[in-house]
A and B are shown apart, each in its own frame.
Chain A
């Protein structure tokens, strides 16, 4: 490997030997093509004509009345597929094709990354397998059906609690046996080097656009940029453009589940300890012996006991701060936001919005905030209605 893939002490590539040649191959292809004219042209055309970039930065006026300060939404929910995941899937998918690979595999939690990979697999004519935990297959069933319609094979993974961690384990195992012709299209800013760097790269248009759009619309930089953090890809995508603007506060919001005093949450940076999982040294939710803990969160896309290593570094250096909100607050915000803005937000993205609701009366009214609306909430209506049956809701 040419680089160590470290973010301070975090990151690296802690994987079995058998995967090293495949990671090396991806690292060198990425170096070769990231600035290749033809690759860039093709990717940019896909971004604009196929996925729908640039996405708008929208001043959410009615929601801003609730919070008491102006909130601008980066509308990644408007992208094809309904989430930011398509940025990375197009980038890595194209890279896979330039490398001459014919097959794609991916893990998925909420199903958004699986869906994005299925879309790209169909678009580029590549055979696609998606690994998804059995719990997530059940709770994000609409996405499972979409992936199958797009021609992807969805494999329900039985191990553990049947969530994202188990899907990643199984995708790695499958990859081990098929490294020669298969490209593992990793879905978040975690995993072994070079994935955290590659995923940040392909998600960085979110931040670059948002920064420019904010300057155009408000004449200045935002005071706060906030995003939900599962593995951390939408967050690093938007944070990356503001890292050198020290006056901009970066706030990552994790899944507080049933509360940080319980073990039913996935607030890895808030409550985890440094360790090694899925190829990276990073914060993890684990027991005193280093066994990885089961997590729980209303949002499948955040339900993961690890986090991308660059976030671990941003936390350690103090450049970004990480907070959490609980399931009930997320549900409250989901209903409030849907009705005030006419947008169904993904439960993942709703975490960032819920944190903003908590800041009412705390942040001064002139504070300018950009929240990354990483995805739309259509996939979540069953979950939402299950937790708050229509009949039980007044209003």
Chain B
């Protein structure tokens, strides 16, 4: 059983997965905020290494990437960061990274270092399933899980292919678009989730645009195994650049609100295919 299966099988609700850009707004504050999210009850973490050209991201995460880069975040320091977090408390960590950063570090070496720091899975934002074999052997060798994105416009055949290559969870993108807060949950989520559930028995976590406890509730209600909340969390940092204590308070409260809202579900015991 991998770390995700262990997590999903002990929960009687959908997993709450906050996203942070590592080192936003600085190494120390970022570490404090991530630890606060764990203390508030986050089940899994999705962490991103900042990149100069994040094409899959909307304005909120773009700005977070810039803040983190300005404060000196690098892939090597991101590994240290992850080590510090998993030492604080063991928690499954999924990494989101743009491919060029991996390629420059060296895929094999990066995966070894990330695994060693306690990481669980990798998702490469700009590497599609067609080229997944550029990283899968390296991931399997060190025992990292692979996570891939599926989008509402992905055809059935491709979704099956994505499912086959996934050992962690399927990252279901709720809409056609980049990351970013949205006022309303996308209409495509429900039909997309039911299509996905017909095609795969892998855990499915939904992300992009989930901005409130109500959105999280709806997604969980529709059968998601996990809810990924990115821009809304990151926005708390943008809103109070000079006040880490306030950011921490806001994030803690938000996570508790979401947890209160998540409906009960029977625990998943997923086949470990």
Chain A residues engaging chain B, CB cutoff 8 angstroms: 1, 12-18, 20-21, 159-160, 165, 169, 172-173, 176-180, 273, 275-279, 284, 286, 288-292
Instruction: Please name 13 further chain A to chain B contacts, defined as beta carbons within 8 Å, in addition to the given A18-B151, A173-B58, A276-B103, sorted by A numbering.
Output: A13-B131, A16-B128, A21-B153, A159-B62, A173-B57, A276-B100, A277-B100, A279-B126, A286-B100, A288-B104, A289-B105, A290-B104, A290-B105
Contact A180 B176 (CB under 8 A): yes
Contact A289 B74 (CB under 8 A): yes
Please indicate the chain B residues that have their CB under 8 angstroms from the CB of A15 in the complex.
55, 126, 128
| Alpha-carbon distance A17/B69, docked complex (angstroms) | 26
Contact B149 A17 (CB under 8 A): yes
Please indicate the chain A residues that have their CB under 8 angstroms from the CB of B58 in the complex.
173
Please indicate the chain A residues that have their CB under 8 angstroms from the CB of B99 in the complex.
14, 276
B173 contacts the other chain (CB 8 A): yes
Contact B178 A290 (CB under 8 A): no
| Alpha-carbon distance A160/B59, docked complex (angstroms) | 12
Interface string of B120-139 (1 = CB under 8 A from A): 00000111111100000000
B154 contacts the other chain (CB 8 A): yes
B56 contacts the other chain (CB 8 A): yes
B155 contacts the other chain (CB 8 A): yes
Contact B55 A290 (CB under 8 A): no
CB of A19 to closest CB in B, whole Å: 9
Which chain B residue shows the least CB distance to A12? B131
Which chain A residue shows the least CB distance to B127? A14
Tell me the B174-215 residues at the A interface (CB within 8 Å): 175-178
Contact A13 B55 (CB under 8 A): no
Tell me the B91-148 residues at the A interface (CB within 8 Å): 99-101, 103-105, 125-131, 148
Which chain A residue shows the least CB distance to B125? A16
Contact A176 B56 (CB under 8 A): yes
Please indicate the chain B residues that have their CB under 8 angstroms from the CB of A288 in the complex.
104
Instruction: Given the known inter-chain contacts A21-B154, A176-B176, A179-B153, please indicate yes or no for A14 contacting B69, CB distance below 8 A.
Output: no
Which chain B residue shows the least CB distance to A294? B52
Contact A291 B69 (CB under 8 A): yes
Contact A173 B52 (CB under 8 A): no
Interface string of B38-53 (1 = CB under 8 A from A): 0000000000000111
Please indicate the chain B residues that have their CB under 8 angstroms from the CB of A1 in the complex.
130
Which chain B residue shows the least CB distance to A293? B52
CB of A362 to closest CB in B, whole Å: 37
Please indicate the chain B residues that have their CB under 8 angstroms from the CB of A173 in the complex.
55-58, 178
Please indicate the chain A residues that have their CB under 8 angstroms from the CB of B148 in the complex.
17
Contact B104 A286 (CB under 8 A): yes
A interface majority secondary structure: mixed
Please indicate the chain A residues that have their CB under 8 angstroms from the CB of B76 in the complex.
289
| Alpha-carbon distance A1/B51, docked complex (angstroms) | 27
| Alpha-carbon distance A1/B54, docked complex (angstroms) | 24
Size range of the chain B interface in the assembly: 35 or more
B219 contacts the other chain (CB 8 A): no
Ranked nearest first, the 7 interchain pairs of A and B with the lowest CB-CB distance are A290-B104, A177-B177, A18-B151, A291-B52, A276-B100, A290-B100, A17-B149
Please indicate the chain B residues that have their CB under 8 angstroms from the CB of A289 in the complex.
74-76, 101, 104-105
| Alpha-carbon distance A173/B53, docked complex (angstroms) | 11
CB of B139 to closest CB in A, whole Å: 17
Point out which of A17, A165, A169, A176 has the most chain B C-beta atoms below 10 A from its C-beta: A17
A–B pairs, 23, beta carbons within 8 Å: A13-B130, A13-B131, A14-B131, A16-B55, A16-B56, A16-B126, A17-B129, A17-B151, A17-B154, A18-B149, A18-B151, A20-B158, A159-B62, A160-B53, A165-B53, A176-B55, A176-B177, A176-B178, A179-B176, A279-B126, A289-B101, A290-B51, A290-B75
Please indicate the chain B residues that have their CB under 8 angstroms from the CB of A177 in the complex.
175-178
| Alpha-carbon distance A276/B155, docked complex (angstroms) | 26
Please indicate the chain B residues that have their CB under 8 angstroms from the CB of A277 in the complex.
53, 100
Please indicate the chain B residues that have their CB under 8 angstroms from the CB of A172 in the complex.
55
| Alpha-carbon distance A292/B175, docked complex (angstroms) | 28
Please indicate the chain B residues that have their CB under 8 angstroms from the CB of A291 in the complex.
51-52, 69, 101
| Alpha-carbon distance A104/B55, docked complex (angstroms) | 19
Point out which of A12, A286, A288, A291 has the most chain B C-beta atoms below 10 A from its C-beta: A291
| Alpha-carbon distance A168/B178, docked complex (angstroms) | 14
Please indicate the chain A residues that have their CB under 8 angstroms from the CB of B233 in the complex.
none
CB of A158 to closest CB in B, whole Å: 9
CB of A25 to closest CB in B, whole Å: 10
Please indicate the chain A residues that have their CB under 8 angstroms from the CB of B54 in the complex.
169
Please indicate the chain A residues that have their CB under 8 angstroms from the CB of B176 in the complex.
18, 176-180
CB of B62 to closest CB in A, whole Å: 6
Please indicate the chain A residues that have their CB under 8 angstroms from the CB of B127 in the complex.
14
Point out which of A1, A275, A279, A290 has the most chain B C-beta atoms below 10 A from its C-beta: A290
B150 contacts the other chain (CB 8 A): yes
Please indicate the chain B residues that have their CB under 8 angstroms from the CB of A179 in the complex.
153, 176
Instruction: Given the known inter-chain contacts A173-B58, A289-B104, please indicate yes or no for A20 contacting B178, CB distance below 8 A.
Output: no
Which chain B residue shows the least CB distance to A275? B100
CB of A108 to closest CB in B, whole Å: 17
| Alpha-carbon distance A169/B105, docked complex (angstroms) | 23
Tell me the B53-79 residues at the A interface (CB within 8 Å): 53-58, 62, 69, 74-76
Contact A292 B149 (CB under 8 A): no
| Alpha-carbon distance A292/B69, docked complex (angstroms) | 12
CB of B99 to closest CB in A, whole Å: 5
Instruction: Given the known inter-chain contacts A17-B148, A18-B151, A289-B101, please indicate yes or no for A169 contacting B75, CB distance below 8 A.
Output: no
Contact B128 A13 (CB under 8 A): yes
Point out which of B58, B101, B150 has the most chain A C-beta atoms below 10 A from its C-beta: B101
| Alpha-carbon distance A237/B131, docked complex (angstroms) | 29
Point out which of A12, A16, A179 has the most chain B C-beta atoms below 10 A from its C-beta: A16
